[in-house]
Amino acid sequence: MFSYRHGFHAGNHADVLKHATVVSLLDYMARKDKAYWYIDTHAGAGAYSLIEGFAAKREEFHNGIGRIWGRDDAPPMIQAYLDAVGQMNPDGALQYYPGSPYLAWQRLREQDRMRLFELHPSEIDILTANFEEIGRRAVISRADGFEAIRSVLPPPPRRALTLIDPSFEDKQDYRRTIDMLNEALRRFPNGVYAVWYPIVSRSESTQFPAQLRALGCGSWLHTTLSISAPPSDGFGLYGSGLFIINPPFTLQDELESALPWLVDALGTDDGAHYTLDAFIP
C-alpha cells in the first residue's frame, strides 16, 4: 500500500527482532566462501534517519533500539546487531538506523549479490539513492516483490537468503505471502527464507503461523516476541513473529539466549513474552 512508510516504525521492537535475526542469518551465510544472494521482496528505503522525517514523528525507536542502545550485557546475537547499527552511528549517538538492505550491504562480500524489490514510488527513489555507490553487486527494481521474486529464483550460486516482510496493512498480503512461498519453494527448495509478520488483534495474523507450518517445507523455526499484553482496544502492534524456512543449525541456540534478554529489555508490562519452536527432521 502506497500509504505505508516503514520510516514511521524504523528501529521499533519488531525491527529489533527482525534485524538481529537477519544479521545472524547473513553471518551464517558468509561462513562459506561460496557466493550467496540476499533477496529482499519489500526493501523499503534501506536506511533511515531517527532525528528527522518519519521516524522522528512517532519515535517508535524509543521502545526498540533506543531501549538497548549502549547496553553492555547483550547476548552475542544482539551484540552483533548493535555493532551493525553502530556502524551507522560511529560517534555513539543514535541518529541513523539501517534497514535490512543496509545490514546486508555491510556484510556483502565481493562474490555476493543483492536483489532488492520495492514498489512504493517514493521509497524506491530513496532506496536507489542510498545505494547508488554499490555498483553491480546490487540490482534495485521498482517491482511488486510478491511477483518479482520469480525472476531471481533459483539464484545462480544456488545459495540465497530471502527476506519477506510486507507491511501486511492489506490483509491480502497474508495470502499473497503463502502463495509466493509455495512458488518459491517449488523453484528453489533449499533456499533460506525469513518471513516477518506483525502480531496484532486480527484473524489473518493469528491464523498465519499455522498456514506457514502447513507449507510442508523441510525444516523451519518459528519465534515471536511480544512486548506487552494485547491492547484492550484491539489496536496496535504489540509483537511480531519470524518464520525461518531451512534455518541454520546455530540459530535456535542463539535465539534461546537472546529472547529472554529481549523480553526483559523491551517488555512494557507483565504480558511481555516470547515463543520459540522448530521442526528439524
Q: How far, in Å, CA of 47 to CA of 157, rounded?
A: 27
Cβ-based neighbour number of residue 160 at 10 Å: 25
First to last CA, the chain: 38
Residue from 179, 176, 212, 207 nearest 194 by CA: 212
Q: Any catalytic annotation for residue 233?
A: no
Residue 269 to residue 239: CA distance in whole angstroms: 13
Of the residues 125, 165, 269, 277, only one is catalytic, namely 165
What CA–CA distance (Å, rounded) separates 229 from 65?
A: 20
Grid cell 521516524 in the structure block, residue? 55
Contact between residue 1 and residue 39 where contact means Cβ atoms under 8 Å apart: no
In sequence order, the β-bridge partners of residue 164 are: 195
Residues designated catalytic: 165
